[in-house]
Structure 1
Amino acid sequence: MRDARAKARIAARIARAEAGNFGDSKPVGGGVSEMRIDYGPGYRVYFHQKGKILVILLCGGDKSTQRSDIRRAQELAEREE
């Protein structure tokens, strides 16, 4: 990713999630949830939460790759179980 502002926004979003504030997020199935970043092409970060504390970052993408990103994140989440 070349866009420094996008990198900063995504990093800030992940930092907020680490603090327990997942903000604009929703489950997408298979134990995977999606954090939406309202910037650029609609970046997404996919994660799997184990218990109340551990959050495993699975992958990310944007709106154009959403379906394949969700499938990939679900496959990775299955491996973690």
Structure 2
Amino acid sequence: MEDKIHIEYYETDNGKCPYLDWEADLPRELRAQIRKRLNRIRLGNFGDFDHIEGSLYELRKRNHSGAGSPIYYGKKRNKILILLCTGDKRSQKRDIERAKKYWLELGG
């Protein structure tokens, strides 16, 4: 089956990828859960998400305790999803501002 959504990752000018850096530090089980979710998104099933503004969104990810790490992304032409960064409830406002900055750098 062909992917409906193509996923890319935001990269800073110095070659860092905030999303992949965050993912690499996750416990293996949580990383596997998130990758399964990304595979479902590739097929068009976004699950629990929230619109922030414009073409900027938040994937909501909750663990068994109810806590979660939102994943911020931008969408272009309904085909390309660009994972920007992540955060948590304590830093949500700052994380959203960072996601907006990254998205604007990409012309979003």
User: TM-score per shorter chain, which class?
Assistant: 0.7 to 0.9
The unaligned stretches of length 5 or more in structure 2 are 1-24
For CA contacts below 8 A with separation 6 or more, give which structure has more relative contact order. Answer: 2
Where does structure 1 differ by over 6 angstroms across 4 or more consecutive aligned residues? none
* Displacement after TM superposition at 1:22 (Å): 0.9
Q: Normalising to structure 2: TM-score of the pair?
A: 0.66
Bigger Rg, which one: 2
Q: 2:100 aligns with which of 39, 58, 74?
A: 74
Which is richer in helix? 1
Identical residues among aligned pairs (%):
33
**Conserved? CA contact 2:55–2:76, under 8 Å:** no
Aligned match of 2:61: 37
Please report the TM-score for the alignment, with normalisation by the length of structure 1: 0.85
Aligned to 1:59: 85
Q: How many residues align?
A: 81
Q: Do 2:86 and 2:95's aligned partners in 1 also have CA atoms closer than 8 Å?
A: yes
- 2:11 match: none
Q: Which runs of 5+ in 1 are unaligned?
A: none
**Contact persistence 1:13–1:37 (CA under 8 A):** no
Distance 1:26 1:2, change over 3 A: closer
Q: Where is the strand percentage greater, Structure 1 or Structure 2?
A: 1
